[in-house]
Amino acid sequence: MNRDYQVIIVGAGLAGLACGLHLQKKNIPFIILESSDAPGGRIRTDKVDGFLLDRGFQILLTEYPEARKVFDYEKLDLKPFSPGALVRLGKKFHRVTDPFREPDKALETLFAPIGTLTDKMNIAKIRLTLTGQPIEKILTATEYTTMELLKLQGFSQSIIDKFFRPFFGGIFLESKLETSSRKFEFFFRTFSGGDNVIPAKGMQELPNQLAEKLGLSNIKLNTRVTNVTNQTVTTEDGETYEAPHVVIATDRRAMGKILYGTDLSEDDRSVTCLYFACDTAPIKEPILVLNGEKTGPINNLCVPSNVSSDYAPPGQALVSVTVLGTRKDHNALEKAVRSQLEEWFGRDVKGWRRLRTYRIDNALPKQNPPTSFVENKNEVRPGIYVCGDHMSTGSLNGALQSGREVAAMIEKSLL
Could you report the per-residue pLDDT of 305-359, keeping only the tens digit for each?
Answer: 999 999 999 999 999 999 999 988 889 999 999 999 999 999 999 999 999 999 9
The CA distance from 182 to 188, in Å, is 10
Q: Are residues 289 and 358 in the same domain?
A: yes
> Per-residue pLDDT averaged across 264-293, rounded?
95
The CA distance from 322 to 318, in Å, is 13
Confirm whether 298 is domain-assigned: yes
Helix (H) or strand (E) holding 271: strand 269-278
Could you report the per-residue pLDDT of 61-90, keeping only the tens digit for each?
Answer: 999 999 999 999 999 999 999 998 999 999
Confirm whether 226 is domain-assigned: yes
Confirm whether 1 is domain-assigned: no
Is 80 exceeded by the pLDDT of residue 1?
no
Q: Are residues 37 and 60 in the same domain?
A: no
Confirm whether 151 is domain-assigned: yes
> Per-residue pLDDT averaged across 183-202, rounded?
96
- Residue 392 sits in a domain whose CATH number is 3.50.50.60
**What pTM, to 2 d.p., does this model score?**
0.95
Q: Are residues 250 and 290 in the same domain?
A: no
Cα 328 to Cα 296, 331, 364, distances in angstroms: 17, 9, 19
Count of domains observed in the chain: 3
Written as one letter, the residue type at 401 is: Q
Q: Are residues 303 and 350 in the same domain?
A: yes
Confirm whether 85 is domain-assigned: no
For helices 181-193 and 117-131, what crossing angle results, to 10°? 80
Domain that holds residue 181: 96-105+115-193
Chain center to CA of 21: 21
Could you report the per-residue pLDDT of 120-168, keeping only the tens digit for each?
Answer: 889 989 998 998 899 999 999 999 999 999 999 999 999 999 999 999 9
Residues 6+ apart with CB under 8 A from 111: none
Is 90 exceeded by the pLDDT of residue 2?
no
Confirm whether 184 is domain-assigned: yes
Which pLDDT belongs to residue 222?
Answer: 97
Which pLDDT belongs to residue 141?
Answer: 96
Which pLDDT belongs to residue 263?
Answer: 85
Which pLDDT belongs to residue 328?
Answer: 82
SS3 state of residue 183: helix
Which pLDDT belongs to residue 111?
Answer: 63
Q: Are residues 316 and 253 in the same domain?
A: no
Could you report the per-residue pLDDT of 243-259, keeping only the tens digit for each?
Answer: 999 999 999 999 999 99
User: For the purposes of burial, counting CB atoms within 10 Å of the CB of 252, is it exposed (0-12), middle (13-18) or buried (19 or more)?
Assistant: buried
Is 90 exceeded by the pLDDT of residue 106?
no
Q: Are residues 15 and 153 in the same domain?
A: no
